[in-house]
């Protein structure tokens, strides 16, 4: 991902901040260049949000029925979790 310099980043870099991780907490290859590569790992946060959506039964778009039990689910999560659900037509 490419992120271009903003006024805040410019002032941060011009004051002599740490050149490997500028003021915003992102790890940057070269924060003072005109375009910098930014690495961020938010996988834990994403997993927590997905878990929260599931437990609250929010944003579900499909229901699996097994016997007499219904399981609300998210098509995207099913698709990335199992090749069985990676179909091109709606299920």
Return the CATH number at 49: 3.30.710.10
φ, ψ of residue 39 in degrees (nearest 5): -110, 130
- Considering the domain architecture, whether residues 47 and 31 belong to the same structural domain is answered as no
Domain that holds residue 14: 2-39
Global pTM exceeds 0.85? no
Residues linked to residue 65 through DSSP beta bridges, in sequence order: 70
Number of domains in the chain: 2
Per the domain annotation, does 91 fall within a domain?
A: no
Burial 57-83 (b: 16+ CB within 10 A, else e): eeeeeeeeeeeeeeeebbeeebeeeee
- 74 and 59 within one domain: yes
| Domain membership flag for residue 14 | yes
Q: 48 and 79: one domain? A: yes
Tens-place pLDDT, residues 16-33: 544 444 445 555 555 555
The predicted pLDDT at position 44 comes to: 87
- Residue 68, pLDDT score: 96
27 and 60 in a single domain? The answer is no
Q: Across the chain, what does the average pLDDT equal?
A: 70
């Amino acid at each position: 991902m490419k992120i271009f310099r903003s006024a805040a980043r410019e002032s941060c870099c011009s004051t002599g901040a740490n050149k490997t991780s500028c003021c915003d907490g992102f790890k940057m290859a070269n924060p003072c260049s005109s375009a910098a590569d930014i690495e961020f790992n938010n996988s834990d946060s994403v997993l927590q949000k997905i878990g929260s959506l599931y437990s609250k039964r929010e944003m579900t778009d499909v229901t699996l029925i097994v016997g007499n039990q219904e399981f609300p689910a998210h098509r995207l999560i099913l698709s990335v979790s199992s090749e069985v659900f990676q179909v091109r037509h709606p299920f």
